């Protein structure tokens, strides 16, 4: 990690739909005892199940590294998140609604706890240490099974109570007929695989395989890939026009295509724009560690010296 020094160790927890990543980050910025465990799924007490796991991991770190007592923590989760109030508003995959993560976690851990959105927190890390560190107006777009995004405007994250950045549900022209559909129904890795397999009548191919077939001359694969690029470029053109996006950072599974995705995306976006500045489109640099790194950043912001330097009081 690239955090540098701080006055105390902190705990960082990155909760995903499948895995929960956790680490104790010491005063030098080293991650001690990195853990990757299965994310607990409990339909009757979904939020409490996450905090049970977090509390257990915190106890493990305290026992394993007694010389590095943590003084603050951060938990980041998917879904719709109000980081200002510490509430997980909704998670379709993990099942909670309006769960007070921040307050409950602080009580359980006995320390200040920051709570945030996984993609937004990863975006903050990319903007401070990664691909977008030289830009102030950024869209970080994670394209995998679905599409999630975070918006940075003039150097500040746009949260809107947790409802900003839902780019995957923005409307785009439907390539299969008149009208519109949502972006992730066309532009996500999951959509590329589904649409190709449905139209080809073949067993489900992954997005990587669709790109390989397109490169080899498969006309249907080339069209499905082009549809995805068109949809992504359409949504990004709206971002450029409305909020002046100057850099786009692409992460997630589809970003593994590298220039096979990024170059046609640049070209198509250039065709859609007129007088607007062309954003720099690049691949995320921090990879799977971005969420954990961002969580550690947010936890460190709660330490007394950091709050004194920023002039803030208690915060989430």
Of 218, 206, 303, the closest CA to residue 253 belongs to: 206
- pLDDT score, position 97: 93
**Domain map (residue ranges) of the chain:** 9-123+288-310, 133-284
Q: pLDDT-based confidence at 25, cuts 50/70/90?
A: very high
Looking only at the bridges linking them, the beta strands covering 180-182 and 97-99 are unpaired
State how far the Cα of 96 lies from the Cα of 42, in Å rounded to an integer: 10
Looking only at the bridges linking them, the beta strands covering 247-251 and 280-283 are parallel
Same fold yes or no, 9-123+288-310 and 133-284: yes
Q: pLDDT-based confidence at 309, cuts 50/70/90?
A: low
- pLDDT score, position 279: 96
- pLDDT score, position 159: 87
- pLDDT score, position 314: 42
Per DSSP, 287 falls in state G
- pLDDT score, position 307: 64
* Domain made up of 9-123+288-310: CATH architecture: 2-Layer Sandwich (3.30)
pLDDT in tens, 258-286: 999 999 999 999 999 999 999 999 999 88
pLDDT in tens, 48-106: 999 999 999 999 999 999 999 999 999 999 889 999 999 999 988 888 999 999 999 99
- pLDDT score, position 316: 46
Given a contact cutoff of 8 angstroms between Cβ atoms, the answer to whether 189 and 253 are in contact is: yes
Mean pLDDT, the chain, rounded, equals: 91
Sign of the dihedral through C-alpha 166, 170, 174, 178: positive
User: pTM for this structure?
Assistant: 0.83
pLDDT in tens, 122-143: 999 998 888 899 999 999 999 9
According to CATH, the topology of domain 133-284 is: Nucleotidyltransferase; domain 5 (3.30.420)
E strand segments, 243-289: 247-251, 280-283
What mean pLDDT is predicted for residues 247-259?
91
- pLDDT score, position 315: 43
Q: pLDDT-based confidence at 210, cuts 50/70/90?
A: very high
């Amino acid at each position: 990690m690239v955090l540098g020094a701080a006055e105390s160790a902190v705990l960082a927890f990155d909760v995903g739909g499948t895995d929960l990543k956790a680490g104790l980050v010491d005063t030098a910025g080293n991650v001690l005892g990195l853990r990757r465990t299965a994310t607990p799924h409990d339909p009757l007490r979904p939020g409490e199940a996450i905090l049970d796991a977090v509390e257990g991991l915190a106890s493990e770190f305290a026992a394993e590294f007694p010389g590095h007592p943590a003084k603050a923590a951060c938990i980041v989760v998917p879904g719709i998140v109000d980081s200002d109030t510490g509430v997980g508003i909704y998670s379709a995959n993990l099942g909670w609604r309006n769960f007070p993560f921040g307050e409950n976690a602080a009580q359980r851990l006995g320390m200040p706890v920051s709570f945030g959105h996984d993609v937004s927190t990863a975006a903050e890390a990319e903007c401070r240490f990664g691909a977008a560190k030289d830009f102030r107006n950024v869209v970080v777009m994670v394209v995998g099974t679905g599409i999630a995004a975070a918006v940075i405007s003039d150097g500040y994250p746009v949260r809107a109570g947790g409802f900003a950045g839902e780019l995957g549900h923005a409307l785009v022209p439907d390539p299969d007929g008149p009208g519109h559909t949502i972006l992730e129904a066309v532009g996500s890795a999951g959509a590329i695989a589904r649409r190709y397999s449905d139209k080809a009548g073949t067993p489900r191919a992954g997005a990587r395989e669709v790109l390989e077939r397109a490169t080899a001359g498969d006309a249907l694969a080339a069209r499905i890939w082009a549809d995805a690029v068109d949809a992504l470029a359409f949504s990004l053109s709206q971002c450029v026009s409305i909020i002046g996006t100057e850099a786009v950072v692409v992460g997630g599974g589809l970003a593994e295509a590298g220039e096979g995705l990024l170059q046609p995306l640049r070209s198509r976006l250039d065709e859609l724009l007129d007088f607007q500045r062309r954003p720099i489109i690049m691949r995320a640099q921090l990879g799977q560690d971005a969420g954990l790194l961002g969580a550690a950043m947010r936890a460190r912001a709660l330490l007394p010296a950091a709050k004194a330097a920023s002039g803030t009081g208690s915060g989430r």
